[in-house]
């Protein structure tokens, strides 16, 4: 297959990476994609770095078998521990969600105060805090774990009294700190963006790591002269390692349409 026509590979431990996939489809509609969700072994957050690296390398090998031209680690845990190793090992560009999101947040803030929302594991790892401070040591960062956000998203409770009350609770530290930028440090969270924005008010900007990652991918494709340049329609495929029916049901909520080319696979 000609290099330019090869697909972009997107890997996540589950469903959240579909927000990155959706952003890629919106920003780069001419690009083909292959998505892999490792539902059989999620969550990754409670596993050792060694195990997560092994899983990520196995996923990369699977996607390389589909002749991808670029790999996106749409998983915070894998991005934190496996990105550097994959970048060294693979001959194609490899992108994670953490640095791209941090760069967009640092660029967005006007008062230097940024709130980071994430899962308990992501917040405890401090990966976003470290990435932000590496860009600008003068930043004031409020980090808030939001353990109820993922189940709300996966149950489809995106708006209404319950998600609003939960959001008010989790966003209180950001409001008290007068953060003008809130970083969505989990790929599930963009689905809650309307509710979060309503609680925060128009003076606070939400930074979507999924869209920031897609923008970084577009920049890399241009830099490496890898953008698809033919009018041929893009093709898309989704693979999961378990829970095919559950994934199919919930993926439509993330993508806005049923997943294309959905199949079960083994790593």
Question: Which positions are catalytic?
Answer: 75, 186
CA distance linking residue 167 with residue 197, whole number of Å: 10
- Cα–Cα dist 161/156, whole Å: 13
Q: Going by C-beta distance under 8 Å and a sequence separation of 6 or more, which residues neighbour residue 189?
A: 117, 146, 149, 153, 196
Task: Read off the tokens for 187.
Answer: 């790929």
Q: Which residues of 140-161 are buried (b: 16+ CB within 10 A; e: fewer)?
A: ebbbbbbeebbebbbeebeeee
4 close to 227: Cβ distance less than 8 angstroms: yes
Yes or no: say if 173 and 144 are a contact pair by the CB < 8 Å rule: yes
Q: Would you state the structure tokens that stand for residue 149, as one six-digit string?
A: 């956000």
Please give the angle made by the CA atoms of 33, 101 and 107, to the nearest 5 degrees: 130
Q: Give 174: exposed, middle or buried? Use CB within 10 Å, 0-12, 13-18, 19+.
A: buried
């Amino acid at each position: 297959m000609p290099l330019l026509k090869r697909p972009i590979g997107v890997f996540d431990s589950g469903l959240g990476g579909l927000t990155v996939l959706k952003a890629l489809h919106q920003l780069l509609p001419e690009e083909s994609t292959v998505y892999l969700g490792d539902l059989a072994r999620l969550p990754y957050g409670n596993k050792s770095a060694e195990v997560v690296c092994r899983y990520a390398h196995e996923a990369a090998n699977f996607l390389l078998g589909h002749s991808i031209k670029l790999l996106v680690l749409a998983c915070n845990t894998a991005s934190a521990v496996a990105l550097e190793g994959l970048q060294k090992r693979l001959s194609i560009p490899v992108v994670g969600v953490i640095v791209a999101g941090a760069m967009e947040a640092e660029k967005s803030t006007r008062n230097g105060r940024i709130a980071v929302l994430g899962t308990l594991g992501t917040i405890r790892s401090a990966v976003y805090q470290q990435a932000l401070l590496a860009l600008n040591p003068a930043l004031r960062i409020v980090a808030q774990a939001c353990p109820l956000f993922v189940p709300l998203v996966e149950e489809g409770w995106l708006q209404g009294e319950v998600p609003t009350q939960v959001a008010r609770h989790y966003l209180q530290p950001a409001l008290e700190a007068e953060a003008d930028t809130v970083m969505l440090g989990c790929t599930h969270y963009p689905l809650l963006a309307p509710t979060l924005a309503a609680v925060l008010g128009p003076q606070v900007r939400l930074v979507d790591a999924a869209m920031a990652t897609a923008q970084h991918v577009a920049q890399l494709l241009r830099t490496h002269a890898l953008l698809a340049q033919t009018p041929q329609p893009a093709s898309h495929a989704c693979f999961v390692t378990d829970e095919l029916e559950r994934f199919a049901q919930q993926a439509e909520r993330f993508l806005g349409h049923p997943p294309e080319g959905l199949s079960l696979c083994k790593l």
